[in-house]
Amino acid sequence: MKRREFLKKLIAGFSTVPVGIWWLAKKVSTPKFVRAVRFREYPGPLRPLADISKQGKWSG
């Protein structure tokens, strides 16, 4: 192996360490889940709050 090739491999080897640390730090700091933000308006038709005293028509 020539000196230049050896140095290339050495630099590549050392550069993996900070990349690895960066990857690990990113993984740890990434939130476990993202809370969605409320959208500015409802995209569908709006209606007033109807009579709610009746039993729901849906299952469950």
Partner 1 sequence: MCLIEHGQSGDCRVRINIDGVLRTVVYGYPCSIAIDPVEKKPLFHFLPGTKILSTATAGCNLHCQFCQNWEISQANPEDTPAAFCPPAKLVEVTKENRCLSLAYTYTDPIIYYEYTYDSAKLAKQANIRTVLVTAGYINPEPWKKLLKYVDAANIDLKGITEEFYRDVCSATLRPVQNALLIAKASGVWVEVTNLVIPTLNDKAEHIRELARWVRANLGRETPLHFSQFYPRYKMRHLPPTSAKTLDMAREIGISEGLDYVYIGNILSEAGQTTFCPSCKGPLIKRSGYTILQNRLRDGRCPDCKKEIHGVWK
Among 2, 26, 27, 32, binds partner 1 (CB under 8 A): 32
The answer to whether 27 contacts partner 1 (rule: CB under 8 A) is: no
Compute CA distances 58 → 1, 27, 54, 55, whole Å.
75, 42, 12, 9
Considering the rule CB under 8 A, would residue 12 count as an interface residue with partner 1? no
Could you give the CA distance from residue 36 to residue 53 in angstroms, rounded to a whole number? 31
Length of the chain: 60
Of the pair 11, 37, the CB lying nearest partner 1 is at: 37
Residues at the contact surface with partner 1, assessed by CB under 8 A: 32-39, 42-50, 52-60
